[in-house]
Chains A and B, each alone.
Chain A
Amino acid sequence: MVSQVKTGIYPNETAAHRAALRKRPRISETLIQGFLFFCGALSILVTLGIVYELGKESLLFFTRQQWEETNRTLVDAMNAEQTTFRMTETGMALSVDSSIRLRSEVMTVTDIRGDVVTVARAQQNTVAAPHESGVEIETSRRVTLAEFFTKTEWNPQIGKFGIWALVNATLMTSLTAVAVALPLGLCVAIYLSEYASARVRGVLKPLLEVLAAIPTVVYGYFALTFMTPLLRAIFGVNTVAIYNTASAGIVIGILILPLVSSMAEDSLSAVPQSLRQAAYALGATRLETAVKVVLPAALSGIAAAFIVAASRAIGETMVVAIAAGAGPAFTFNPFQAAETMTGHIVRISGGDLSYDSIDYNSIFAIGLMLFFITLGLNILSQRIVKRFREEYE
């Protein structure tokens, strides 16, 4: 057969034909595409906005000098030159070299003898002015990054800003949660994907996912009124405090269980059937197939599931706010009360928090810290998925 080279598909294609076949603009298609793009862009912009806001407020927290009331006032009126004054006897203790403020004038304390204070006047570009008696004395607080990351005591009201007290509590609850959810979730996933019949799986999987639909506040009270009494019955009332990280951690474990089991089950099911058949052909039992063949093949997906679940545990708020404790404490005892980062944010913002107060700014720094932890975990999860990815044709 004689073949003739032609440019078009059809033998007798003309310019008119080609014009008719050209891609026609479909308005509805373009609109949908634009809308989808808009949705994606919006969520990214919102995330960026949150990060910007967190960063901005945290920057304020680390850079700005904050003023706190000492509950002390000036006893006698003082003129603009005077460098010693008497303050009222009760109130917070001042320290030498600290900055104090009376109205708008900043002073540096050079000496304290009882309630008589000697100061250097007109510091930090302020002007020395006379002050009448009864003027409030404020003291300054400034937070350094070094203090933030190295100290273990968190108490903004008295100028203690060691984030580790909160981070430690968050790690305690999250590790407990992962320790509960990891083995349980994996067992559930293996059962569902390798052992359960289609019928059983059809019932069990949605049921497990119902766990995810329970409001977390319910989990919180479940921890406080069920898990804590249970722990206290087992380990003794005087060993286990009423608010403790173990109880909150276990319940968060139950909370993230459906997340782990569901994602792990998905990745186990995605392992091709031919691998299982090959294992059976070599004489492997069902358990051997599941543990030695399917599980390693699905490792990347399972690892990702754990990390997503761990980030969820770290960010969990309501359960820890209710059951873990309401005072920052640096302790490794899971039966003691300790306040997590999220729990602290909730408690502090629950009061009549005034803007620009040190408490208010500190919660943004905690928020940013939380953000970096979960971001780090997400990056780690992506690395793991890439590293352990097994591809089957």
Chain B
Amino acid sequence: MRRTFVVLFILVALVATACGPKATPTAAPVATEAPKATEAPKATDPTPATVVKPVEPQLLPEVNPLEVTGNVVTAGSSTVYPLAERMAERFYDEGFQGQITIDSIGSGAGYERFCKTGETDIANASRAIKDSEKEACAAIGRTPIEFRVGTDALAVVVSQQNTFVTDVTVEELALIFGNTATKWSDVRPEWPAENILRFIPGTDSGTFDYFVEHVFAKDKEPHLTAANTQLSEDDNVLAQGVLGSPYAVGYFGYAYYAENAGTLKALSLNGVVPTAETVEDNSYALARPLFLYSDAKIMQEKPQVAAYINFFLAYVNEEIVDVGYFPASETTLLAAQQAWVAAMQ
């Protein structure tokens, strides 16, 4: 009797605490977040989830990882690294017996290994190859073939309660996230004289590095010493923070924004709204393409390299959103597949 009373009491207490936040009017944003978030992906243009489409079977020959032997050596961009790692894992899972080496050394160093020393089969890159690098490749008898596998884009976000900012320039971004401006009015006089509350990714993340590189000319000091700055490796913490005030601003990978488009507002940069198109054609300032580069001769001599790229192109769109990047459009991916077919002839 007494025990049941105790158990009942605990249950009541738990239910009461669980219901608590919803009952208070202040928690309204949290409560309304869920339904909006589910309808959001349909409303916004770039929907990573819906871009995933089965690849046309006739273009690429079916790969059977079980039948492929030998090793694949790749090196390059740390941005491509998580994606390449995911694809390699899947390649192993489906029976590949060889070894895939993926070195995360940066795009430039990746090109150097591919074009100068020629020790890699594939260069992973988050920028297109430069002419000087192409020349270096030609000098060792390699002709790099480009395979676009996706796009990495950053979204600069504010809460939807923020009515005064919709578009900023990259220079203003440096002010908003830098240590010289404290209030919004310091950036543009017509903006409110309220503190800018900044929510930025942690210093270990590639997102932080990329932002520092492009907005702060590689100098992280002004970014890190800005007042009211909160850092987190967890995008959810940043999103919560930005939602918490109309004067908050943050940035993270576009994929995460797309999931929360119902409650957050992505700013346009220099008048360019981030969409699947603007991100892919590079007109949006904080986007960079993700590439694999290889050479026809290598692909023909080493069937495992061709098989790996084939596999990559065939299944990348099933994994890429999970890794946090923007999938390449169907036409871009098709072009990459055509390049693969052309290289193998």
- Digit string of B15-49 for contact with A (CB within 8 Å is 1, else 0)? 00100110011110010000000000000000000
Point out the residues of chain A lying under 8 angstroms from B220, CB to CB.
Answer: 71, 92, 157-158
The answer, among A90, A207, A242, A352, for a CB contact under 8 Å with B218, is: A90
Q: How many A-B residue pairs have CB under 8 A?
A: 106
Point out the residues of chain B lying under 8 angstroms from A348, CB to CB.
Answer: 202
> With an 8 A cutoff between CB atoms, is B175 at the interface?
no
Cβ of A326 and Cβ of B237 under 8 Å apart? yes
Point out the residues of chain A lying under 8 angstroms from B217, CB to CB.
Answer: 89-91
> With an 8 A cutoff between CB atoms, is A46 at the interface?
no
The answer, among A229, A337, A352, for a CB contact under 8 Å with B204, is: A352
Q: How far apart sit A253 and B49, CA to CA, in the bound complex (Å)? A: 44
Cβ of B219 and Cβ of A71 under 8 Å apart? yes
Q: How far apart sit A347 and B245, CA to CA, in the bound complex (Å)? A: 22
Q: How far apart sit A337 and B247, CA to CA, in the bound complex (Å)? A: 15
Point out the residues of chain A lying under 8 angstroms from B245, CB to CB.
Answer: 237-238, 241-242
Point out the residues of chain A lying under 8 angstroms from B233, CB to CB.
Answer: 347, 350-351
Q: How far apart sit A352 and B213, CA to CA, in the bound complex (Å)? A: 19
Cβ of B231 and Cβ of A326 under 8 Å apart? yes
- Digit string of A71-99 for contact with B (CB within 8 Å is 1, else 0)? 11000000000000000011111000000
- Digit string of A335-375 for contact with B (CB within 8 Å is 1, else 0)? 01100000000011011110000010000000000000000
B229: nearest chain-A partner, CB-CB: A327
> With an 8 A cutoff between CB atoms, is B203 at the interface?
yes
Smallest CB separation, A226 vs chain B (Å): 5
Point out the residues of chain B lying under 8 angstroms from A243, CB to CB.
Answer: 230, 241, 244
Q: How far apart sit A226 and B232, CA to CA, in the bound complex (Å)? A: 21
Q: How far apart sit A349 and B202, CA to CA, in the bound complex (Å)? A: 11
Binds A, one of B2-10, B118-126, B282-290, B298-306: B2-10
> With an 8 A cutoff between CB atoms, is B194 at the interface?
yes
> With an 8 A cutoff between CB atoms, is A34 at the interface?
no
Cβ of A155 and Cβ of B218 under 8 Å apart? no
Cβ of A203 and Cβ of B5 under 8 Å apart? yes
> With an 8 A cutoff between CB atoms, is B234 at the interface?
yes
Q: How far apart sit A222 and B18, CA to CA, in the bound complex (Å)? A: 9
Cβ of B6 and Cβ of A207 under 8 Å apart? yes
Cβ of A157 and Cβ of B224 under 8 Å apart? yes
The answer, among A158, A232, A337, for a CB contact under 8 Å with B225, is: A158
Cβ of B203 and Cβ of A351 under 8 Å apart? yes
With A91-B217, A92-B218 known to touch, is A155 a contact of B27 (CB < 8 Å)?
no
The answer, among B9, B25, B194, B240, for a CB contact under 8 Å with A207, is: B9
Point out the residues of chain B lying under 8 angstroms from A347, CB to CB.
Answer: 202, 231-233
> With an 8 A cutoff between CB atoms, is B154 at the interface?
no
Cβ of A241 and Cβ of B219 under 8 Å apart? no
Cβ of A241 and Cβ of B197 under 8 Å apart? yes
Point out the residues of chain B lying under 8 angstroms from A210, CB to CB.
Answer: 10
Residues of B within 8 A of A (CB): 2, 5-6, 9-10, 17, 20-21, 24-27, 30, 194, 197, 202-205, 212-213, 217-221, 224-225, 228-234, 237, 240-241, 243-245, 247-248
